[in-house]
Amino acid sequence: NLSKTRNHKAAKRFFKKALQSFHASKPRTITIDKNPAYPVAITKLKNEKKVPLGTQIRQIKYLNNVVEQDHRFIKKRVRSMLGFKSFGTATCMLAGVEAMHMIKKEQVDLQNQSVRNQKEFIHQLFG
């Protein structure tokens, strides 16, 4: 039996929102933990054609741990600040850190874009 906070409807909303993000592309694979709600949610999104039918679901602990390691930089930064005083501060800080990590990990190709496109991208990230 799933808890109210980790059910397939909540998981579906999460994946739907993540896939609508401006920097997200259609995934070939989705790495998830062993939560039984995730495969149900992804299957429903495949049926609604929100996720490509060929998208592979991976529930391998080692691979998910690699994905989770991405958050360690944010945790280190937040710990030294003793948390956030408001939701707005947290949102701005996390968006900035995530954007810088995307650029550092070369998940965003800015080299082959015009200065105008680079400017628009930076504006989208930092407002």
Phi, psi angles (nearest 5°) of residue 70: -60, -25
pTM over 0.95: no
Is the four-CA dihedral 69, 71, 77, 82 of positive or negative sign? negative
Q: Is 68 helix (H, G, I), strand (E, B) or coil?
A: helix
Q: Is 59 helix (H, G, I), strand (E, B) or coil?
A: coil
- Output 59-63 pairs: Cβ under 8 A, ≥24 positions apart: 59/31, 59/32, 59/33, 59/34, 60/31, 61/33, 61/34, 63/31
Tens place of pLDDT for every residue, the chain, 127 residues?
445 446 888 889 888 888 887 666 788 888 888 888 889 999 999 999 989 899 999 888 777 666 566 666 677 666 666 667 788 877 777 777 777 777 777 777 777 778 888 788 778 777 6
Hey, where are the domains in the chain? 4-59, 71-126
